[in-house]
Amino acid sequence: MNGPLLLAWRHMAHHPARTTILSACLGLALFLPVAAALVTDDYRQGLSSRAAHTPLIAGAPGNRFDLTLATLYYRGQDLATLPLSARDTLSGAGDSSDALALAIPMHQRFTARGAPLVGVGFEYFAFRDLSPAAGTLPRTLGDVVLGAELASTLAMAPGDTLYSDPREVYDIARPAALALSVCGVLAATGGPDDRVAFVDINTASLLDGLLHGHDDADALDDPALLGRSPSLVVVSPALIEHNEVTSVNAADFHSHGDRGELPVTSFVLVPHSAKASTLLSSRINNGGQWQVVSPRAVIDDLMGFVFRIKTLFDAVAGLLIGTTALLVGLVLALSMRLRADEMTTLQRIGCSKSMVARLHALELGCVVLLGAGFAAGMLALTMTWLPDVMTVLN
C-alpha cells in the first residue's frame, strides 16, 4: 500500500464509527435511486415480455387492466364471464370457414390450496410452451397439472390428490371441494406459470357446478327423489354429487344445459396474421358485446402510470443524494478543521500542500468506495430477494 493511501486508510480505520456512518449514508443515497430504477426496469421487463408474447386477449366488457393482468398473470380477479360458444365469433370463424385466430379459453375463478386453479383449453400448453417435467398434461376430466414451484411448495407429484378450495360453502348444489388427480408437474419456466395448477376447461366447468356427476337419477328411490314422470326425474338439491372423477363414475358427469353456455373468463387470441389481428380487434370491439385488448398496449399504459410515480420518486432521490453529499461534505470539512494541526505538522516536516489535499481526497474516495460497495451489496441482496412481478401483483 502506498504512503498516502496507508495514511488515509489508517485514519479511517481509527474512526470506524464515523467512517461507517458516512459510508452507509452515501451507500443508502446511492442505493435508493439505483434500486428503484433496477426494480422498476425489472418489473417493466417482466410485465412487457409476457405481454409481448400474448397477441390479443378477449373478454367480457369491463376493466381492461383487470382482464389483462388476470389473463397474463392469473391474478385473482372476479372477472365477468363470457360463454364458451363465443370462441367461434372471437376466432373469426363465426361468419366464414376460415378462422382468423386461434381462440384459447381460460377460466380462473377457483383456487386450490391458495394457488390459482386455472382452466385452459389444451392449446394453451403449446402456446405458453409448457411441457411436463413429470407425468402428463391433463388428459381426462378431473386431471390437474401443477406448475413446478407449486408442486415443490405443496410437495406433490403425479398420483397425488389436490383438493380445490371451497368457494361457496353454503351452496349445497355443488361439492364443497373437488378432488383433482395430479397427472403431472410442469417444467419450470421462471414465470407465473410455475405457481399455478392447470385443469382442462371442462374441469373448470365441473368446479363451477355446471358440469356435474351423481348417481343414476332413474334408480333413485330415496328422499332425494322429489318427483318422477316418464320424461323427467326431479331430484333434491341435497343429492350428493360426486366430488371426484374416477374411472368408475366418469360416465356419470354431464351438463343439463347447452355446453356452449359454459362460462369462461377470457380467451387468448392468437391471430394468424397482423391483418387478422386488426380485423378481429375492430370487429369485436365495434360489436360491443365483448372486448379485445392488446396486452402490450395495456401494459404500456399501466407502466406509464408507474413511471409517472417513479419520476416523483427520482426527484426525491435526487434531493436525498444532494442532501447527503452536503452532509458528507460538512463532516469532512469539520474533520479537516479538526486535523489542521496534524496537517500543519506534516507540512513542517516537508509534506507538500498537494500531498495534504491528496490525503483528504483519498479518504473521501475510500468513503465513496465503501459507500458504493455498501450500495452494491444492498442492490445484490435486493435483486436476489426481489419478489417477482406475480407476487407483487397479488
Partner 1 sequence: MNLDAMLSLESVRFAHSDGGFQLSVDALTIAREERVACMGPSGSGKTTLVHLMTGILVPDEGSVCLAGQELSSLPDSDRRALRISRVGMVFQQFALLDHLTGLENILLPYHISPALTLESGARARARELALTMGIDHALSRRPQRLSQGERQRLAICRALVTRPGLVIADEPTGNLDPQATATTLDLLMDQVTRRGATLLVVTHDRALLPRFDRVLQTTDDGQVVAA
Do β-strands 143-146 and 179-186 pair in parallel, antiparallel, or remain unpaired?
Answer: parallel
- In the list 261, 352, 381, 387, the residue contacting partner 1 (rule: CB under 8 A) is 352
- In the list 235, 355, 368, 379, the residue contacting partner 1 (rule: CB under 8 A) is 355
Residues 231-270 that bind partner 1 (CB under 8 A): none
282 near partner 1, judged by CB under 8 A: no
**Closer by beta carbon to partner 1, 118 or else 356:** 356
**Closer by beta carbon to partner 1, 11 or else 75:** 11
CA distances from 203 to 3, 84, 118, 209, 244 (A): 76, 13, 10, 10, 11
- In the list 270, 346, 372, 376, the residue contacting partner 1 (rule: CB under 8 A) is 346
**Closer by beta carbon to partner 1, 39 or else 355:** 355
Residues 11-50 that bind partner 1 (CB under 8 A): 11, 13-15
Enumerate residues 6+ apart whose C-beta is below 8 A from 114: 165
**Closer by beta carbon to partner 1, 289 or else 352:** 352
Q: Which three cell numbers stand for residue 313?
A: 420518486
Task: Residue 209: name the closest of 237, 246, 181, 182 by CA.
Answer: 237
10 near partner 1, judged by CB under 8 A: yes
Q: How far apart are CA 325 and CA 322, in angstroms?
A: 5
**Closer by beta carbon to partner 1, 109 or else 358:** 358
Q: How far apart are CA 204 and CA 198, in angstroms?
A: 9
Cross-strand partners of 244:
179
How many helices (H) and strands (E) in the chain? 12, 16
CB of 194 to partner 1, least distance (A): 54
- In the list 256, 308, 337, 348, the residue contacting partner 1 (rule: CB under 8 A) is 348
CB of 16 to partner 1, least distance (A): 11
Specify whether the CB–CB gap between 192 and 74 falls below 8 A.
yes
CB of 393 to partner 1, least distance (A): 53
Kindly state the number of chain residues that form the binding site for partner 1, as judged by CB under 8 A.
20
83 near partner 1, judged by CB under 8 A: no
- In the list 131, 261, 342, 381, the residue contacting partner 1 (rule: CB under 8 A) is 342
Specify whether the CB–CB gap between 260 and 83 falls below 8 A.
yes
Q: How far apart are CA 314 and CA 229, in angstroms?
A: 75
Containing H/E element for 269? strand 266-271
Place of cell 372476479: 78
- In the list 161, 236, 345, 391, the residue contacting partner 1 (rule: CB under 8 A) is 345
**Closer by beta carbon to partner 1, 10 or else 139:** 10
- 76-80, Cβ contacts within 8 angstroms, sequence gap of 24 or more: 76/108, 76/111, 76/116, 76/394, 77/108, 78/109, 79/108, 79/109, 79/265, 79/266, 80/265
361 near partner 1, judged by CB under 8 A: no
**Closer by beta carbon to partner 1, 96 or else 354:** 354
**Closer by beta carbon to partner 1, 14 or else 308:** 14
Interface residues with partner 1 (CB under 8 A)? 3-4, 6-7, 10-11, 13-15, 341-342, 345-352, 355
